[in-house]
Amino acid sequence: MEQALLWFFALAALVGGALMLVLRHPMRVALALIASMMSLAGVYAMLGVHVIAVFQVLIYVGAVMVFMVYAIMLLDVRDPSFTHRYSGYLLPGLAGLAVLAWTFFHTIGNSPLQAGASPATTAFDVQPFSAAFLNDFWLYFELTSVLLLAAVVAAIAILKARRGNHE
């Protein structure tokens, strides 16, 4: 049962990603990306990595994609890039995709991977994650807070620049 669910979520993630290439309107692309991310959260939950599954839903779907959906709704719907999906790089891009995907899958198929990723083990609970996070990686925790502060300052600077150009 868990094995079947793992396959289902993995395939759903890939289907969501493929829909992103085909759909026309950015809002539908955003919904396909949200579906793909939720499927990935299901994959993480099936792997027993519940912390990451919760973060995937909370941070990615809850914060990042909601922000993206706001940005899509702010912008004009009658944009020409909404009706013409693909740029002039369509054929070179697809050729590059074929070569890259073949290389990756060939490498994965021939590499001596252990069959260790099993859907029943619970490797990361919240408790060992929190202990490792705040004992061993406290410096990186502080650095991410600095990074977020820098991002906020940069976003404000961009908005100020926009206002300055209009005056």
Q: Does the protein bind another protein through residue 1 (CB under 8 A)?
A: no
- The CB-of-59 to another protein minimum distance in angstroms stands at 5
Smallest gap from Cβ 41 to another protein, in A, equals 10
Binding-site string for another protein from residue 18 to residue 57, where x marks contact by CB under 8 A and - marks none: x-xx----x--xx--x--xx--x--xx--xxx-xx--xx-
Chain positions 63 to 82 lying near another protein, rule: CB under 8 A, are: 63-64, 67-68, 71-72, 74-76, 79-82
Among 8, 57, 133, 142, binds another protein (CB under 8 A): 133
Q: What DSSP letter does each residue of 95-124 carry, written as one string?
A: HHHHHHHHHHHHHHHHS---S---SS----
Q: What is the rounded CA–CA span in Å between residue 42 and residue 6?
A: 8
Number of residues that bind another protein (CB under 8 A): 90
Residue 17 Cβ, how far from another protein at the closest point, in Å? 4
Q: Would you call 140 helix, strand, or coil by DSSP?
A: helix
**Residue 11 corresponds to which amino acid?**
L
3-state secondary structure of 119: coil
Residue 12, C-beta contacts closer than 8 angstroms, at least 6 positions apart: 35, 36, 39, 42
Buried b (16+ CB within 10 A) or exposed e, 29-68: bbbbbbbbbbbbbbbbbbbbbbbbbeebbeebbeeebeeb
| Nearer to another protein among residue 87 and residue 167 (C-beta) | 87
- In sequence order, the 6+-apart residues with CB closer than 8 A to the CB of 60 are 37
104 scored as a contact of another protein (CB under 8 A): yes
> Considering only residues 142-161, where is the footprint of another protein by CB under 8 A?
144, 147-148, 150-152, 154-155, 158-159, 161
- Which of 1, 8, 38, 59 lies at the binding interface for another protein (CB under 8 A)? 59
138 near another protein (CB under 8 A): no
Contact status: 17 vs another protein (CB under 8 A)? yes
